[in-house]
Amino acid sequence: MSSLDVARIRKDFPILNERVNGRPLVFLDSAASSQKPVQVLAAMEHIYRATYANVHRGVYWNSEQSTELYDDARCKIAQFIGAPSPENVIFVRNATEGLNLVAYSYGRHFLKAGDEVLLTEFEHHANFVPWHVLAKERGVKLKFIPMTQQGTLDLSKLDELLTPQVKLVTFAQVSNVLGTITDPRSIIDRAHAIGAKVIVDGCQSTPHMPINVQAMDCDFYAFSGHKMLGPTGIGILYGKRELLEAMPPFMTGGDMIGSVSFEDVTWADVPVKFEAGTPAFVEAIGLGAAVDYLSAIGMEAVRTHEKETVAYAIERMSEVPGATIIGPTDPEIRGGALTFTIKDIHPHDLGTLLDREGVAIRAGHHCAQPLHIRLGLKATARASFYIYTEQREIDALIEAIYKAKHTLRK
């Protein structure tokens, strides 16, 4: 029995009534991008139908209405993540852009040759590639916190890795492959003790559990709207005010300026300094509606449902001959994703056969090639869950895997 009324929640997601290959859709790829409730769709449609006009640029009614809703969304999001002020919240296209913003605006301004950036072995490419680029450009050295055989971070190595040369530490709060949940304060406090700044990738944590960036004491925190019931094209970078004020803009153009003359340019205050051009204000309002939806459910309840769902999925997958679960099997330290392999079946083949049964999973390296290299795997399969996932869908996944094994005589 779920802690959530999943049957009621599912009524808010029209796409879950669709059929794929003549079978009910079983959507198990929410870690990549979640589905959207009617409340989010309605909030965005209202803007386009009734009040649409550019924000912060007009003194007429439509523009004022859109601006009010846009600014209100920033306030909602700030409250949702425990930010001290809406001014700490920068709208970006997605977490990838937010992480690149820090790499370009903070990294290129404050890091120099010989400085070190400490990452983990299980980072998503969005929190890997920008630092590789910076290392090649500026002579910065990258180091990595290793993981244990169980798929958790080996923090026994942390003090050894946190040398005086480490100026920046960046890590995912929840691995998008392993599902591993890391306690941020176990890293942040020790990083701050040597004067290093800390970035947390919250893509797989913000949609699934309570977040308070002030209690966490991170310096930057990035996440995407599309993984938490919101639309694509909108994400958030949280930053401490003093750091954001010290950083140069990531992009330049309209709205982010204080003044422009033939001789000089000055910047607007944060967060607008980092929001050049017409913002994705309809998408931001949609994300605000998604935050309203999740807040009404309660993030503690969301996390409880996730633990129940992943525990059931681990139990059922453990019954499948030839199945290997990748990452921790303790639901207390695992997020809402179950990554696995089936002996002698390539994940891409498995994904294709499951699709015939209406079951949608992810197959590949999940934008985490270094982790797969570390695991000695070229690809894995991943089923991921959210507030609308029912146990019967886990059963459908397992049944479809057995059918795939039969089809391939495995």
The dihedrals phi and psi of 199, each to the nearest 5 degrees, come to -110, 135
For 243, the token pair is: 């750091």
Q: CA 178, CA 324: separation in Å to the nearest integer?
A: 12
Q: CA 404, CA 210: separation in Å to the nearest integer?
A: 38
For 132, the token pair is: 């590789």
Q: Residue type at 311?
A: A
Spatial contact of 201 and 178, defined as CB atoms under 8 Å apart: no
Q: CA 10, CA 15: separation in Å to the nearest integer?
A: 9
Question: Helix or strand or coil: residue 383?
Answer: strand
Write 7-11 long-range contacts (CB < 8 A, 24+).
Answer: 7/390, 9/297, 9/387, 9/388, 10/388, 10/390
Q: What share of the chain is helix, strand, coil (3-state, %, to 5)?
A: 45, 20, 35
Spatial contact of 196 and 187, defined as CB atoms under 8 Å apart: no
Identify the CA nearest to 209 among candidates 190, 241, 232, 183.
183
From the candidates 75, 203, 218, 367, which is the catalytic residue? 367
Question: Helix or strand or coil: residue 259?
Answer: strand
Question: Helix or strand or coil: residue 300?
Answer: helix
Taking each helix axis from N to C end, the angle separating 391-407 and 347-356, rounded to the nearest 10 degrees, works out to 110
**Catalytic residue at 367?**
yes
Q: What is the DSSP string of 318-339?
A: TTSTTEEEES---GGGB-SEEE
Q: CA 374, CA 368: separation in Å to the nearest integer?
A: 10
Between strands 89-92 and 235-239, the pairing is antiparallel
Identify the CA nearest to 54 among candidates 65, 46, 63.
63
Q: CA 228, CA 215: separation in Å to the nearest integer?
A: 21
Spatial contact of 267 and 252, defined as CB atoms under 8 Å apart: no
- List CB contacts of 28: < 8 A, sequence separation 6 or more: 359, 360, 361, 383, 384, 385, 389, 393, 397
Which residues participate in catalysis according to the annotation? 367
